Amino acid sequence: MGDQSKPLAWLHGEVKTPPFSLEARIEAGVLLRKLQEGETLGLPHSRPMPSIGYHCHS
């Protein structure tokens, strides 16, 4: 991890709906790491939400 990377941790019981499988937690962790490194995510992982604001994605 680089100097600006932050550790990712899944807290027991925090993600309740929908429940995340091990594979989903790994994929979410990989995508969060990419965001930390400055990458932008596109479909299907992130969708633009211009009604919320510029550069806002879900």
State pLDDT tens for residues 7-49.
777 776 666 667 778 888 888 888 888 888 888 887 888 787 8
Confidence (pTM): 0.59
b/e code 14-46 from CB counts within 10 Å (16+ = b)? eeeeeeeeeeeeeeeeeeeeeeeeeeeeeeeee
Q: Could you say which DSSP state residue 18 is in?
A: S
- Output the pLDDT for position 17: 65
Contact 36, 6 (CB under 8 A): yes
Question: In the prediction, which pLDDT does 15 show?
Answer: 62
